[in-house]
Amino acid sequence: MNTINSLAERLLGRALTKNDGVRPSELDKVELKLGFILPKILRDLYLLAGKNTMLMESFNRFALPSQLQRDENKIVFLEENQSICYWGFEINLENHNPKVYQLLNENEWYEEQIPLIEFLTVMLYYQCAQGGYEYFGISTISDEDLEILTHTEWEDVVRYSGLQMYWKPDCLLWYTYDNENNRINDIYFSARTEEVFRAHIQKYELEVL
């Protein structure tokens, strides 16, 4: 199954439609301008969900196809929500899963610890957690209850660069951790629908934000 298709439909809670994606001809023009074919995973993202605002711009902002920019041997495709940094992937025609780099201060590139496919997976979950899902709160459950619940009710979907995320249908449970794997802030709960959020208020001791 297509990685982007299954992940996008999981997060949206519905099947994708043709209105969610950009036209193939639009990508063809961009690739002609850039001088190479985009990695399949990024091409799939645009074709299947490139017009879906929840996935593409609810927190960080994915470039429109026409906005993709080449910076020497990298293509810049994602802007941080406060424009503090950008992300680009390394142009490598022989690698379908190229390295990803973060750009700071206009000319300082730092390699991410995961390549493009894994990076996009992390980012799409994070888009939903940080604004894509409308209903948001803080869970005040104990660390002991957190350990039990995440092992019995949730799927572990992201653990990267200090971010831990769990998924189950229409909601995400997440927090950040330090270099010693200790949780360093609140436990956050994000839900796609009000019904799902309300169903978890008591059990997860949610404080609405």
- Helices (DSSP H) in the chain: which residue ranges? 3-12, 24-34, 40-49, 53-57, 116-127, 143-152, 194-200
The SS3 assignment for 185 reads coil
The SS3 assignment for 140 reads coil
pLDDT of 1 reads: 43
Exposed/middle/buried for residue 77 (C-beta within 10 Å: 0-12, 13-18, 19+): buried
114 within 8 A of 183, measured Cβ to Cβ? no
Strand ranges for 69-107 from DSSP E? 69-71, 74-79, 85-90, 100-104
Cα separation values, 200 from 152, 153, 203, Å = 15, 12, 6
The SS3 assignment for 56 reads helix
Cα separation values, 179 from 160, 164, 175, Å = 11, 13, 14
Walk me through the domains of the chain, giving residue ranges and CATH numbers: 3-128 (3.40.1580.10), 133-208 (3.30.310)
Alpha-carbon dihedral 20, 93, 31, 61, rounded to 10 degrees: 50
24 within 8 A of 47, measured Cβ to Cβ? yes
Tens digit of pLDDT at every position of the chain (209 positions): 468 999 999 999 999 999 999 999 999 999 999 999 999 999 999 999 999 999 999 999 999 999 999 998 999 999 999 999 999 999 998 899 999 999 998 889 999 999 999 999 999 999 999 999 999 999 999 999 999 999 999 999 999 999 999 999 999 999 999 999 999 999 999 999 999 999 999 999 999 98
* Nearby residues of 116 by Cβ (< 8 Å), 6 or more positions away: 39, 41, 42, 89, 97, 98, 99, 100
Strand partners of residue 90: 74
